[in-house]
Amino acid sequence: MNHYKFNFYEKKEFVSVIKIEIPKLIEIYDQEIRYYHNYCKKLPKDAPRHIEFREISKLKAKLVEGLTEKVDIDFGNNEDYVSSFSMKIVRKIDFHSIYCKKCEKEYFKNEVCFTDWTTGSGLAASGGKSVFCLNNHFICGFLEWDS
């Protein structure tokens, strides 16, 4: 199976590289593309949603290419759609592995530690998970709910 990876930042500090199987991201792009076909077809060509659709289609083509040519894809710091879409997979804990920059080591998801966090209270509360490597370095975090 081929993978793609992207860099994860915490407060602008580069902490890890998250690796995910290519078909999982293609699935999310397909959902977006279907949504576009259903709701956005009549929009003008310069509408933000249309520009977004073109970008998503380009990224999807790149992923399909990686899959057919059996190569891994490194998105690095591409913030446009890659990390926000990928985080949908990370939240389901469906990633392949995370490379900890401090350890300079790759950890599989069964080797890392997940901790729940909450902040605020009442209607201004939110919660999520933090991910730590075996040496207790923070390597990823995400929001799961918001009141």
Contact residues for Zn ion, defined by CB under 5 A: 100, 102-103, 133, 135, 137
Residue placing its CB nearer to Zn ion in the complex, 59 or 140: 140
Query: What is the helix (H) or strand (E) element at residue 119, kind and residue range?
Result: strand 113-119
DSSP state at residue 39: H
Return d(Cα 52, Cα 99) in angstroms, integer: 29
Q: How far is the CB of 137 from Zn ion (least distance, A)?
A: 3
Between 26 and 103, CB nearer to Zn ion: 103
Q: H-helix or E-strand containing 6?
A: strand 3-10
- Cβ 89 vs Cβ 95: under 8 Å: yes
User: Minimum distance between the CB of residue 139 and Zn ion, rounded to whole angstroms?
Assistant: 6
Q: Which is nearer to Zn ion, 15 or 59 (CB)?
A: 15
**CB 58 to Zn ion: min, Å:** 34
